[in-house]
Amino acid sequence: MEDFLLKVEEATLKIKDKVSSLPKIGIVLGSGLGMLVDEFEEKCFIDYASIPHFPTTTVVGHSGKFVLGEIEQQPVIAMQGRFHLYEGYKPMDVTLPIYVMKELGVEKLIVTNAAGGINKLFNVGDFMLIEDHINLMGINPLVGVNFENLGERFVDMSNTYSKDLKRIALDTAKDLNINLHKGVYVGVLGPSYETPAEIRMLKIIGGDAVGMSTIPEVIVARYAQMEVLGISCITNMAAGILEKPLSHKEVMETANRVKPQFCSFIKSILSSLKKHDDMKV
């Protein structure tokens, strides 16, 4: 475990060498949603391959870069692509970037993902505010020795997704006339899509959308005392909801189609966050 903390330190130092203003906000961009970085000003790209101890992204739609810059007049750091357990990585590999963000000073984390819609009220291309999640991945990234300097052994997950950030997202969606659904995200291991029978089960236990990411990152973010906002893009309907096969191609096509709305939504949330934080000063 000491080796892991050293990895976090070395990766953090590599990034600090390239930035002049450390970010308070981190963003994880899901499959096909990396285009948000086009909106950054004074941006700096750092390939994961150049960062010590970082894994390699292997999934289409995940560019594999940290992007630092300014958006809505505040410094941010974004993951243009994430790591997944189904790629064969260990939980600590998948969540290493979140620990690094914490060391860089990130206090608020916006996680986004492409998800399959379980709720029949959803349509492909809709957005869902993650109100809560169900972890069916079979892992918890906090298993092992506890890092006393980062967080408590037993992490309270009662309010995993920040009430303040959820309110800001809902108000922003209303201002932009975006129909933002609210729901529960179910995380599964993948990489195979779920069967229709599994989707029926997930619906029974309270799931509204399903995906293969996000939850390990969120658990670590809460462990590290970050506020978390989660937004899913419903890029396809889950197995059995519609009579059609599932494909990653549809995920990417949908993400590309909603690009303008997604970018406008996240930018407006960041603008509202700045106003909200300025009022506290």
- Three-state SS at 268: helix
Chain center to CA of 74: 19
E-strand spans in 101-260? 108-117, 127-136, 180-188, 209-211, 227-237
pLDDT of residue 139: 95
Among all residues, which ones are annotated catalytic?
Answer: 31, 62, 84, 86-87, 114, 212-213, 236, 248
User: pLDDT per residue over 38-53, tens digit each?
Assistant: 888 888 899 999 999 9
Q: What are phi and psi of 212, to 5 degrees?
A: -120, 30
pLDDT at 68: 92
Question: What is the SS3 assignment for 118?
Answer: coil
- Average pLDDT for consecutive 10-residue bins of the chain (281 residues)? 85 88 90 78 89 81 80 88 92 95 96 94 94 97 89 93 97 95 97 94 98 97 97 87 75 80 91 73 49
Q: What pLDDT score was predicted for residue 259?
A: 83
For residues 194-217, one letter each, b for 16 or more C-beta atoms within 10 angstroms of the residue's C-beta and e for the rest, the string is: beeebbeebbeeebbbbbbbbbbb
Run of H or E residues at 218: helix 215-223
Q: What is the pTM of this model?
A: 0.93
CB atoms within 10 A of CB 57: 20
Class of domain 2-280: alpha beta
* Residue ranges of domains in the chain: 2-280
